[in-house]
Amino acid sequence: MPERFEDLAYILHKRAYKESSYIIDLFTREQGVVSVVAKGAKSNKSKFYLNLQLFNMLDVAYSGRSELMTLVQADVNRSTSIAGQKNIFCGYYINELLLRLLHKHDQHPQLFDSYKQIVFALAEVDKPEPLLRRFEKTLLDEIGYGADFTCTVDGRALEDELMYVVSPGEGVMAAAPGQRSELLVSGKSLLAFAADDFSDEKTQLETKKLMRRILQHYLGDRPLKSRDLFAKTAGN
Amino acid sequence: MSASPLVEQLIEALRCLPGVGQKSAQRMAFHLLQRDRKGAAHLSQVLQAAVDRVGHCQQCRTLTEDRLCHICASSRRDHGKVCIVESPVDVQMIEHAADYDGVYFVLMGHLSPLDGMGPNEIGLDLLAKRLDEGKITEVILATNATVEGEATAHYIADMLHSRNIRVTRIAHGVPLGGELEYVNVTTLSHAFSGRKEV
């Protein structure tokens, strides 16, 4: 008898498989990213019909022994109204981040809870930037790439007026004279970021550039596709 | 018992059709060869011709063997109204169901960045060009009521708002003849937020 798992899950990505099925990458609370096949799910007679939408929190059950499990149940636990809204593209972005940075079956229940929060919050807010920064930070902390933004690697507390450089994998360092300016971040913004305070526009701008650079380091050469889409919407 | 190589090939080729597995493919192949040679010859001619000649309408991207599809070429249609759909089948559905006298624009998919479907892949550059010509006054967004369809509709709506064009989205809600008890929760909540004055 193959093992059966019951869990809460979100769909990160769904692609058509054969005629009426989907292969789905689920982000589950207890088992992390899991790939499942949802057999016959496109048919309106399927018990999954209409439930398998991105950003719906699902009560799922799946079973199997191989890399590709079989979805046996998926009921909507909570749906979100993010679908028709501009922040939907942020949703695509965080899904892509998770797919690229998480290893299959690595467990991240706290990250799952953050994901749940951001999906709901994105449907409500006008300015998604602080939510995204917070999520990116949680994500990096969860996968062990987090950095302490309150002190330098040699243990000195940051100061508002000084400029710093954040090196992915190492941490915050005092800026050396003649440092390339695009790498510099103000102590004020880093401290605000650590304290989760995005009230200053400059903090938002600086942390956006900073997180983009850090994430790029871990993502490698292949660019994020959803970011293109986002850039184009913003440019409209 | 296995059939001759050519018959086997035919069976294998028929399996590319949706809904056709080994068994049906075999039934079709034997039917065509045993009982309906004329039909088979006709099928192969038409199929060849269609594959050779059918391309995309230069204006709306739907499937046609002409430069413009019959809807885009018609002078009886209102060319100021454009209905945006995901696939050519949707055009057929709307033509059957609704009393619509405008023209269409077929995306041939929806935005799905993770699958490499960006704005240009769904023809939005072509749509932008058409909008810039200034003849379009109303756009009806009839993409699917899935999250992806909604995202696509939203993206297009964004493109349109700066151009002073009337944009509408088709309604979703309780199906006609449907009882509330059996309607899916998400649909019901949509139907509620989209309720209208009577």
Give bridge partners of residue A53 from the DSSP assignment: none
**Across the interface, do A92 and B151 touch by the CB < 8 Å criterion?**
yes
**Predicted ipTM of the assembly:** 0.80
Question: A131 and A121 in contact (C-beta within 8 Å)?
Answer: yes
pLDDT in tens, B126-175: 999 999 998 999 999 999 988 899 999 999 998 888 888 999 999 888 88
**A18 and B CB contact within 8 Å:** no
Crossing angle for the helix pair A88-101 and A201-219, to the nearest 10 degrees: 40
pLDDT in tens, B24-34: 999 999 999 99
Predicted local confidence at residue B195, as pLDDT: 87
Domains of chain A by residue range? 3-78, 85-234
User: Exposed, middle or buried: residue B84 (CB in 10 Å: 0-12, 13-18, 19+)?
Assistant: buried
Residue with tokens 């989209």: B194
Distance from CA of B160 to the nearest CA of A (A): 9
Ranges of beta strands (E only) in A79-131 are none
**Across the interface, do B162 and A236 touch by the CB < 8 Å criterion?**
yes
Class of domain A3-78 (CATH, top level):
mainly beta
Question: pLDDT by residue for chain A (236 residues), tens digit each?
Answer: 678 999 999 999 999 888 789 999 999 999 999 999 999 888 888 888 788 989 999 999 999 988 899 999 999 898 877 766 778 889 999 999 999 999 999 999 999 999 999 999 998 888 899 999 999 999 999 999 988 899 999 889 999 999 999 988 888 999 888 877 778 999 999 999 999 999 999 999 999 999 999 999 999 888 888 887 776 555 44
Give bridge partners of residue A59 from the DSSP assignment: A8, A75
Find chain B residues with C-beta within 8 A of A83's C-beta: 147, 150-151
Size of interface A-B (CB pairs under 8 A): 65
User: Exposed, middle or buried: residue A48 (CB in 10 Å: 0-12, 13-18, 19+)?
Assistant: buried
Predicted local confidence at residue A235, as pLDDT: 45
What CATH homologous superfamily does A85-234 map to? Recombination protein O, C-terminal domain (1.20.1440.120)
Rounded to 5°, angle at Cα B110 from B149 and A112: 65
pTM above 0.80, yes or no: yes
The type of residue at B48 is Q
Q: Give the residue on A whose Cα is nearest the Cα of B161.
A: A236
Distance from CA of B71 to the nearest CA of A (A): 29
Q: Which residue blocks in chain A are alpha helix, DSSP H?
A: 88-101, 109-122, 129-142, 187-194, 201-219, 225-235
d(CA B163, CA A150): 47
Find chain A residues with C-beta within 8 A of B146's C-beta: 53
**A43 and B CB contact within 8 Å:** no
Q: Which residue blocks in B54-87 are alpha helix, DSSP H?
A: 70-73
Residue with tokens 């009521």: B145
